[in-house]
Chain A
């Protein structure tokens, strides 16, 4: 089956700096890569996604890049704000099954 690895597990940045979270996957058949944000005590929510036929996607301060050859994808958050503090999960979807990474706890220090 698919194996998704996510790094780092924890990340602290100063407000205004950028944050990068990286994920790798093993199955070349995976073709959809969403990112979820889970704030403390809340449910995970989709923040951005990318399909295998696209190399980069941007939505305001967040962007995701995908390298199909290397089987890795990354989440980039620029100009971080305290409200970006949360756990972020990457996922790879093969067919109709989701495979999640282990999560990255991001803390933005004011």
Chain B
């Protein structure tokens, strides 16, 4: 089976812009979670989607949003980018509420 893929891998934006990141889960996985990873902050949970519905949400401002399509692919959107949004964004898919399989991440740099 192909692993979790994320596009793009690298992204450079300026403050105030918006960005959309994409995640394709492992075939058959219906749950997709998104995390923000910054040095010293670990993996901070953004949200989780299951069968096109947001099932869980972390403590991030409303500028961060996401969605999931019928084929389980997911996108996350960040509007009005701030310098502090620079991070590695990881998505992870799972078949059961057990092991999560992570994608390679999208490195977002906000200038």
Contact = CB atoms under 8 A, between A and B. Distances in A.
A32 B98 contact: yes
Contact of B102 (A32, A43, A93, A95): A43
B90 A96 contact: no
Contacts, number: 50
Interface residues of B, number: 22
A95 B97 contact: yes
Given A44-B43, A103-B42, A103-B43, A98 B102 contact: no
Contacts of A34: 98-99
Q: Name the prevailing secondary structure of the A interface residues.
A: strand
Interface residues of A, number: 22
Interface of A: 6, 9, 32, 34, 36, 42-46, 49, 89, 93, 95-103
Interface of B: 31, 33, 35, 40-45, 48, 50, 55-56, 90, 97-100, 102-105
